[in-house]
Structure 1
Amino acid sequence: MQRRYYGTLAAVAALSLAATLSGCGAGTGSGEVTLKLVAADYGSNASNTSQKYWDELVAAFRKKHPDIAVEVDVRSWKDVDRDVAEMVAKDEAPDLAQIGAYADFAAEDKLYPTSELLPIPTQANFLQRLNQAGEVDRVQYGMPFAASTRLLFFNEELFEKAGLEPPKTWQGIVTAAAKLKAQGVKYPFALPLGTEESQAETMMWMLSGGGGYQDAVNTGYDINSAANIQTFTWLKDKLVTPGLTGPIDPGQLDRQAAFDAFTKGEVGMLNGHPTLMEAAEKAGVKFGMVPLPSPDGEATPSMGVADWMMAFKQNGHREEIGEFLKFVYEDQNVLDFSDAYDILPVTVTASTAMEGDSKHKKLRPFLRELDNSELYPVGKTSWARVSKSVKANIGKAVTPDGDPEAVLNGIAKEAADAEAAE
């Protein structure tokens, strides 16, 4: 991972000597300004809510910038995207939002471009893959705030009992799942294709099978490609129909329910992100992690996910927003958030620091996967509609009487309609 970033790090260092963004000086000299930020909660309960992180960060920022106050309103992931959209629709946009999607607001000319907010060294310090994902028509509006990737988790005790090694191929998954089933494991392979986050599970399997949501050059959707149809036909025929995915129809199994079952020792294998690691450790579950196998065992891109920071034009606080964001993206602040929630940092320098720190050893596999990951097509305003269609329909592709090709054709048609409406 570090090798790829040497050039970028050099550019950041060089730019930092001379480049600054006009209008991003220390303080505005125009009296106190109060910025409003609506942010998503990464905590699992009141004791580790993100509000604590933001309160501490804002207090530290205010010491350096007494003329800029920041009010942070942290809301549940279940509500925050919708809530911000409603605020914008009422012409009550916050100055900043840290949520899951930005493209609709950018398309409506509601957001400041990143180039008007941050000095060039800060812009250049974002991981390149995430920078590109934050663009609409080659202009960056979405600033990456948090990232994660996915790995295949397996229960080491269940594998040892069944005499198994981590699978490297799809056939290896089937063989392991069959042995786990014979040992009485409730979910040999948990396959959450319910409405909670099935767009993620879907993308993981598409990439593993050589496909994806978009075509090879990422210019348009390719949801019903031959590779994707083959992947979901395999899932239906080889995992679901033989009963290797557990007692619940995958289309009715949500991600959190699958994660909860893993922490109870009821799951042999499933795809997971870094927060599952912490939950499993707290539950005393011994686990291993490997990249999701492919049909032939060759490496394939993993799925990466980023959440976004965006700045709204409505209140006109560009300079103050820029000052705050420069502080937000300082290495120590990025690392503090990553430490608190087992999230991957979004900047080159913070990523390099994390990879070199032994206390983050368990996150290194996720960091390496981020280097080779593919992200959702979040720069498309159509993505929200496509994601909704995937959540509603993909589980039907693997039911006993399901038709993977027909289901993917239906989602592809909705994607084409949504793209035509952009």
Structure 2
Amino acid sequence: MHFLSRLVHRFSTVATSTSNVGSISTDLYKEKDLKRLVDKFKRYSDLERFRTKTGIYKETVRRLANAKRFRWIEEILEHQKQYKDVSKEGFSVRLVALYGQAGMFDNAHRVFKEMRERNCKQTILSFNALLGACVNSRKFDMVDGLFSDLPKKLGIEPDQVSYNTVVKAYCEMGSLDSAIMLLDDMEKKGVEPDRITFNTLLHAFYMNGRFGAAEMIWERMANRNITPDIRSYNAKLYGLAMEKRTKEAVELVEEMRYKTIKPDVFSFNALIKGFVNEGKLEEAKWWYDEIEKSDCAINKGTFTILVPLVCEKGDLDFAFELCKKIFGRRCLVDEELLQLVLDSLVKESKIEEAKELVELSKTNDYCRYNLKFSSNE
């Protein structure tokens, strides 16, 4: 029986080797059973061409991480260590990054340490992968130690990617002053900050209500002749929305269009948020319609920002239409948002719409919501 199973496995491997990697990717994408996905992934890993496809690895780890199947992530990534590729820095770095993507820093760190045992070189590439895994795993308390100590041990100097990673860490920690000090240090060391550096800082400062400091960062960016992109402008739009400066936000969108920077859904969402913060429903609805007229796709953020004000203002016909749009667009929103609409409908005795909303929440084919409906009929 053991011999037969080995023979079947060998046959399937040989058969697979003649397959197109694109069809393999499709097969994995369509596989809904995660255990079968893991088994197939391990089998396909025998193919050298398959092991070069970073995108397939990222997507599979993403799916397993979303399902919180961390043991299976470990299973497919540890499986990779049997291949000779693991002695190459690039392949090991990929494993470090994938563990980081899944928030599994201890595993990422172990792979990094094992590189030395395999006499696999460790350059700035390895260092940046480990630093990135640390930040992605939100192990912020370890970032300073890695950044200050490890380069000396490896005989390397942190580069632009290294600094950007630590700037991101400080921003996510809320240590914004430390992030600015690191920017200063970066420049002193002769490492050029780039658009990624400034966009990370702009987003953090605007979103944390430090508008004045964010404007100084914007000016500093301009002094370096770094042209703002859509992410830069979106950060400023959200800052203006939080400051309830919607007139300036609208003017900024016009400036974007003049500079041929096309607003995206996040730009529109920022404007909607600004008018929602000011309690101006009609203006918020106008910008919602602008998304519909553009080629942008309405997303979860659009509904999350808009629905509460719509319910508060009692525009329940529009609230109900928004819910139908959520289901029609297969948009995953928090259940509390739909429950808010349901409660508002019941309160205003719109029982038929409430019943339809409950039915929609139970019968859609991509997510089931457990809305609680009770009427006074």
TM-score interval, smaller chain: under 0.3
* Higher percent of residues as strand: 1
Computing the radius of gyration from Cα coordinates, the structure with the larger value is: 2
Q: What TM-score do the two structures reach when normalised by structure 2?
A: 0.24
